Each structure stands twice: as structure tokens, then as C-alpha cells.
Amino acid sequence: MSPRACILGLAGPELLAEEAAFFRDVQPWGFIVFARNIETPDQMRRLTASLRETVGRADAPILIDQEGGRVQRMRPPHWRRYPPGRAYGQIAGNDPLLQREIARLGARLIAHDLASVGINVDCIPVLDVPDPSGHEIIGDRAYGQNPEQIVALGRAAAEGLIAGGVLPVVKHMPGHGRAKADTHLELPVVEASLEALAARDFAPFRAMSDMPLGMTAHVVYAAIDARRPGTTSRKVISQAIRRTIGFEGLLMTDDLSMKALAGDYTERARAALAAGCDMVLHCNGEMAEMKAVVAGAGELKGKAARRAAAALARIPRAPEPLDLEAAAARFEAAFEGRSAA
């Protein structure tokens, strides 16, 4: 049986019998974990192994949002606290080479943390360009204030992850920085012209269009499609993401349970896939919602299946060697005198 075009969450730190039976039956392509699923390294290794056992695929993707700062699911005391993206661009001395080195090193350390417990996809880098009028939901998650710095540090982070055996997900395509609302709660409308969007918001994604995985934004771009958010807009996906940005990797939705989207969960999944997304993402682990998502997801096939296979093929057979103690010391020294929170 081919996997379904969906990534699903689960309720708690152990796989419930009902969840295992459901996942075994519907065969999601992958899974995503949150703080509610995480306790200790040993518990995480058991959980990721059990998730892969249910679908019978040793390389099944298991995702996490491990950015650092506000968005970090694996936390002390078992894992290091990492700074938000903005901190890398504020390292003392304003040396761009040092900033890139430390951004790559931070991601390499994150990859070590994740791979050691069976997680092989991290939803970074955030490539959104913040706007002064935009909502703080992006804020310090952005690597800088301009596309050039965001690309330099975002690519360094992506390379660090891949070197450690973890795939990056560029987000939120084609750009969330101008949105004046939090898509977890409502649907933002961006009124900027297509020329302004292409010059600033799209630029980091265009520069990193070679990445294996991307995530959409639940944002209306009025200059492209005044009626539908990017996630469910064929115009946004075909014209902005695939054509202007040139992204050919696997495109997944942001979380379908966000309030920015309308309709029931089956309708949301169908609308996103019909618009051109390859994969739908549902995060909260609510069984009734997951069943509705699966009903709208369908089988992973065609171009979407080829993109999924190509993405997994980017995971190296063995991670780049890492002197963990030396790497951690180097990383901590770069942020001396600064809070990583």
C-alpha cells in the first residue's frame, strides 16, 4: 500500500493502541511530534521506533519544530536550549563569516539531538522577511531584517541539518513576514503588490529553491489571489511558489488545524492538494480530525510521490563527523554574554 499524502501527530508520549491501529491502516507518509510527546531521550527513541513500526518504513519521516527560542519542542534538562534565528545575525563583531559558521554549527548540534532520538526532519529554516507592520508571530524567528542575511544564515542552517542526517523544511512559502495576524488564530490578508512581494518576500525562497521540503503559509496574497490563502490557492502555488520562486521540492501545508483555514478537515485537505500541495500536515493528534484529514488526503502518487522520494534521498548515509564537546564549546562561546532564550 502506498503512503497517504499526509503527516499526522499523536496525543501523548506513548503510542496508544488506537493510534497504532489507525496509522497501520491509513499509512501516513510521516509524523510530527510536539512538546506533549516528549519526555526523555530513551522515551523518544521508543516512540519514534514505534511510529515507524506501525507503517513498516524505517525511513518514515518524523518531523519537529526545533527552531530555538520560542519554538523549541525538545528542551532542557535533556537537551540544550538554542537561541532564536535572529540571534545568529547579532553575534558580536557583526562578522558575516562567523555568523554563518555559528548558524551552521547550531543546526548541526540540533541535528545531532534529533537524529539521536530518531527524528529526521526539522521545520527550519524560517525564511520569512519580517516587516515592521507585520505580526510578531515571526519576529525573532527570522534570521535577519533583509533577504540577503536571511539567505546566508538560512542556508547555513539547512546545510548544518543535512550534514547531521536531518532534512530541513523552508517556511513559510511564499512569505509570512508582512502578515498582520497570527494564522493560528485568523486569516491575514497581505495587500502588497506582486512586484514588492517578488523583490523582498519571495527572494529568500528563490535563493533556496533547491531545498528538498517546503511549507506553505495560510496567508492571502491579494495581488495573486484575493479569495484564497496560499495553502489552498492554485494561483499562489503555481505562479508564485513553483514558477517565480522555482521551488521543485515537496510542498507541504502548514498545520490544517489553524483557524486561518475554513471548511471541515476533509475539505481543507482536498482543497490544499487540489491547489498543488503535495502533502497535508495535521498536528494536534485529535483522532476525529485525523480521520477527516485522511478522508481528504488520498494516496501519495505521481509528482508528489517522486518529490517525496527525492527528499528522503537527500539524507546522507552517515552524518558528517562531529566532535560534540568541541562543537558545543565553540557554540556556547559565540553567545557569551547573551541569553539563548
Contacts of 23 (CB under 8 A, 6+ apart): 8, 31, 51, 54, 55
- What is the rounded distance in angstroms from the CA atom of residue 219 to the CA atom of residue 174? 9
Please write the tens of the pLDDT for every residue from 135-183: 888 999 999 999 999 999 999 999 999 999 999 999 999 999 999 888 8
Residue 297 C-alpha cell reads as 488526503
Q: CA 37, 40, 41 angle in degrees (round to 5)? A: 105
User: Could you give the domains of the chain?
Assistant: 4-318 (3.20.20.300)
Question: Which stretch of DSSP H or E encloses residue 304?
Answer: helix 302-312
Q: Confirm whether 254 is a catalytic residue.
A: yes
pLDDT of residue 339: 43
The beta strands (E) that lie in 131-210 are given as 167-173, 189-190
Using the structure block, give the residue that is written with the C-alpha cell 553567545.
335
The closest alpha carbon to 46, from 86, 54, 257, belongs to: 54
Which stretches of the chain drop beneath a pLDDT of 50? 339-341
- What is the rounded distance in angstroms from the CA atom of residue 99 to the CA atom of residue 111? 18
Q: Confirm whether 264 is a catalytic residue.
A: no
Question: Which stretch of DSSP H or E encloses residue 282?
Answer: strand 279-282
Note the Cα 141 to chain centre separation in Å. Answer: 12
Q: What is the pTM of this model?
A: 0.95
pLDDT of residue 72: 96
The closest alpha carbon to 69, from 57, 54, 81, 56, belongs to: 81
Residues 156, 107 contacting (CB under 8 angstroms): yes
pLDDT of residue 337: 56
The one-letter amino acid code at 206 reads: R
SS3 272: helix
- From the candidates 140, 201, 254, 278, give the one annotated as an active-site residue: 254
The closest alpha carbon to 269, from 242, 290, 245, 244, belongs to: 290
pLDDT of residue 1: 75
The CA-to-CA distance between both ends of the chain, in Å, stands at: 44
135, HSE (Cβ side, Cα atoms, 13 Å): 16
Please write the tens of the pLDDT for every residue from 7-37: 999 999 999 999 999 999 999 999 999 999 9
